[in-house]
Amino acid sequence: MNPRPAAHVRMRAAEGSGDILTRLAQAVAETRSMARTIGLARTPPSQWDPRFRQPWLELLGRAGAEAASADGEALRAGRDDLEAFADELPVGELPDGFWPVTGALLVNLRNILEALDVVTEARPVEVPASTLSFA
């Protein structure tokens, strides 16, 4: 019943957890920043330029599904697709004052994908898919 012999095994298993927790905290902070940016935007999401709104919402939904499935490869592909979308976005054609919102949301999503990429690679927790519900 002495827990000391198993302590070194637990300590070794916990090594590297600091980076994972930091990455998770970063993803949470970026998500909060994203929500705040949307809430403070002068233009409500329903009136956003569709050239930004639709692709960004698709990338956001995809990122959520990839994070839920802990698929690091898919998260990296999503980050590449986000970068390609940002490169192709016609910034000069967006409504006045809307570029700061789009820029912030693109950066937030990129940072979330990057943070979760490391977390999914480490797979600190395995959650059975049947327990995930996004209803």
Q: Which of 89, 83, 96 is nearest to 42 (CA)?
A: 96
Whether residue 126 lies inside any domain: the answer is: no
Per the structure, the complete domain to which residue 109 belongs is given by: 19-119
130 within some domain: no
Helices 99-122, 50-68: inter-axial angle, 10-degree rounding? 10
- Total domains in the fold of the chain: 1
Q: Is residue 129 part of a domain?
A: no
User: Would you give per-residue pLDDT tens digits along the chain (135 residues)?
Assistant: 666 666 566 556 566 678 888 989 999 999 999 999 999 998 889 999 999 999 999 999 999 998 888 888 888 999 999 999 999 998 888 887 788 899 999 999 999 999 988 777 776 555 555 555 555
In a domain, 113, yes or no: yes
